[in-house]
Amino acid sequence: MNHDTYDDNYIRGILNNVKTIAMVGASPVNVRPSYFAFKYLAQRDYDMIPVNPGQVGKNLMGKPFVASLADIDRPVDMVDIFRNSDAALPLVKDALTLNPLPKVIWMQLGVRNDEACALAEAAGVKVVMNRCPKIEYGRLSSEISWMGVNSRTLSSKRAPIPTQGMRLSLNRVSVGGGGTSAADRAAQLKDDKNNNA
């Protein structure tokens, strides 16, 4: 499938259905993007598991760090990769040894590894690359609109009042699926740059 742009229904289906998320590269440092995303998703009632071998023995939002995916004591629905693109391949190989298999491999904003993606998809695992689940959740629920961000969704229904520890509805009308012409152009420019490099 095309990993430059995603249909909103694809992202919506993932965020509506996963419950347990292992975040590889979760940081206890409260100015790192992984910390923001971990905290936000935990407050949206996802069962978050921080994976970081350098932090074992500590907790993140009350959840104990584990050293690797193999050390997790329960089935994982989604592996969220907060590492660089090169690290994604061995991590996906690790994830594909889990039993049961995770349903989704999610690579963070700026992380893309097409080889790892192909491996996961061949095993029947859904893949999202170069996106942030916090931003996508905020966008599809329109919570991110409070920051002037274009959620690319519409709704004529009364909005829920966003509070901590609450799942928000992601089921708004999408304005043209996942992409915008600007997003397509950004992806195109990135491809051009990579090809020229």
Partner 1 sequence: MIDRLPGFATLAIHAGAQPDPTTGARSTPIYQTTSFVFNDADHAASLFGLQAFGNIYTRIGNPTNAVLEERVAALEGGTAALAVASGHAAQVVTFQALLRPGDEFIAARQAYGGTINQFTHTFKSFGWNVVWADADDIASFERAVTPRTKAIFIESIANPGGSITDIEAISAVARKAGVPLIVDNTLASPYLIRPIDHGADIVLHSATKFLGGHGTSIAGIIVDAGTFDWSRDNKYPILSEPRPEYHGIKLQETFGNFAFAIACRVIGLRDLGPALSPFNAFMILTGIETLPLRVQRHSDNAKAVAEFLSTHPAVAAVNYSGLPSSRYYNLARKYAPKGAGAVFTFSLKGGYDAGVNLVSNLKLFSHLANVGDTRSLVIHPASTTHSQLDDAAKTNAGAGPDIVRVSIGIEDKEDIIADLDQALRA
Q: Answer yes or no whether residue 136 interacts with partner 1 by CB under 8 A.
A: no
As a whole number of angstroms, the distance between CA 47 and CA 76 comes to: 9
- Amino acid at residue number 86: D
Lookup: tokens for 86: 């090169």
Q: Answer yes or no whether residue 62 interacts with partner 1 by CB under 8 A.
A: no
78-81 sheet: strands from edge to edge: 47-51, 20-24, 78-81, 104-107, 126-128
Q: Which DSSP string corresponds to 33-68? A: HHHHHHHHHHHTT-EEEEE-GGGTT-EETTEEPBSS
- Closest CB 86 distance from partner 1, rounded Å: 17
Positions in 24-53 near partner 1 (CB under 8 A): 30-31, 33, 35-36, 39-40
**Contact pattern from residue 90 through residue 109 relative to partner 1, giving x for each residue in contact according to CB under 8 A and a dash for the rest:** -------------------x
Q: Answer yes or no whether residue 172 interacts with partner 1 by CB under 8 A.
A: yes
- Closest CB 60 distance from partner 1, rounded Å: 13
As a whole number of angstroms, the distance between CA 127 and CA 103 comes to: 9
- Closest CB 139 distance from partner 1, rounded Å: 10
Q: Which of 4, 5, 7, 71 binds partner 1 (CB under 8 A)?
A: 7
- Closest CB 83 distance from partner 1, rounded Å: 14
Q: What's the DSSP call for residue 176?
A: S
Three-class DSSP category at 106: strand
Q: What's the DSSP call for residue 148?
A: T
Q: Which of 150, 166, 169, 191 binds partner 1 (CB under 8 A)?
A: 150
Interacting residues with partner 1 (CB under 8 A): 7-9, 12, 30-31, 33, 35-36, 39-40, 109-110, 132, 135, 138, 142-152, 154-164, 171-177, 180-183, 185-186, 189-190, 193
